[in-house]
Amino acid sequence: MVIIMLGAQGTGKGTIAGMISEQTGYPQISTGDIFRKNISEKTKLGIEADKYISKGDLVPDEITVPMVVERLSQEDAKNGSILDGFPRTTEQAKKLDEILENLGKKVDLVINLVTPKEELIDRMLTRRVCTNQECKATYNIKLNPPKQEGICDKCGAPLKQREDDSNAEAINRRLEIYEEKTSPLVEYYNQKGVLRSETVSKSINRMGKDVAQDIIKDIKNN
């Protein structure tokens, strides 16, 4: 089963994908995590990707697509995968369809997360991530703080604020790009009959874990 997570930055795609991954065994494939790992290790891919990410721009397809193809071909993704951060445009979605067809697969479910913009900005400014690349746990110092300030509950590694989360101007730029380039994907997958939209907001008392639990239950019942 191939699942895609859609939604602007800060909607909780990574958190929900992680919960689904734990319950299904499907690997969570996050292009953002792969980029950040390469940036921290100063690889050729990381240096190129950082030129775009630091400005809040999308990384070009010629960098992103080969990376996704390689990851989807690995053994642990044979029975299913959860794509978090790809595709970002309808062009990438069409390329993904071709990639999956060559692997004898297709997109089975697209989860579209919706959150009010002002809530998204606040969430990103208050988000903290584990520095341990094997853990990658995510916290929010307002909504989901760690038990000990600055320390990951799961592995004990230090937490940090992502560089692209500390700049309100870059955050606004990312949200603008999402509306312009990524939101058309909602219609693309809606027409294919695989779209499931979910509102994630404290204003309606429905957070990521609530959405994840409902989706996991539906997957297991089908």
Q: What is the pLDDT of residues 6-21, one digit of tens each?
A: 998 889 888 899 899 9
Please provide residue 13's backbone torsions phi and psi, each rounded to the nearest 5 degrees.
-55, -50
Residue 156 structure tokens: 């004990």
- Give the confidence band of 131 by pLDDT, cuts at 50, 70, 90: very high
pLDDT at 34: 81
Lowest mean pLDDT among 41-55, 76-90, 190-204: 41-55
- Which position among 36, 71, 88, 136 bears the catalytic label? 88
Question: Is 13 a residue of the active site?
Answer: yes
Question: What is the spatial distance between Cα 4 and Cα 12, in angstroms, rounded to a whole number?
Answer: 13
CB atoms inside a 10 Å sphere around CB 64: 24
**Residue 179 pLDDT greater than 90, yes or no:** no
Secondary structure of 115-183 in HEC code, one letter for each residue: CCHHHHHHHHHCEEEECCCCCCCEEECCCECCCCCCECCCCCCEEECCHHHCCHHHHHHHHHHHHHHHC
- Give the confidence band of 98 by pLDDT, cuts at 50, 70, 90: very high
pLDDT at 193: 96
**Distances from the Cα of 125 to the Cα of 37, 117, 176, angstroms:** 21, 13, 17
**Distances from the Cα of 57 to the Cα of 173, 180, 212, angstroms:** 8, 12, 29
Q: Residues 6 or more apart from 104 whose CB is under 8 A from it?
A: none
Q: What is the mean pLDDT of the chain?
A: 90
Alpha carbon 131 to chain centroid, angstroms: 17
Question: Is 173 a residue of the active site?
Answer: yes
Residue 60 structure tokens: 């070009």
Question: Is 127 a residue of the active site?
Answer: yes
- Give the confidence band of 137 by pLDDT, cuts at 50, 70, 90: confident
- Which position among 37, 173, 181, 202 bears the catalytic label? 173
Question: What is the spatial distance between Cα 119 and Cα 143, in angstroms, rounded to a whole number?
Answer: 11
- Which position among 71, 95, 127, 174 bears the catalytic label? 127
CB-based contact 100:2 (threshold 8 Å): yes
- Which position among 13, 105, 128, 174 bears the catalytic label? 13
Question: What is the spatial distance between Cα 84 and Cα 28, in angstroms, rounded to a whole number?
Answer: 7
Alpha carbon 5 to chain centroid, angstroms: 6
CB atoms inside a 10 Å sphere around CB 198: 20
The full set of domains in the chain, from first to last, is 2-115+167-221 (3.40.50.300)
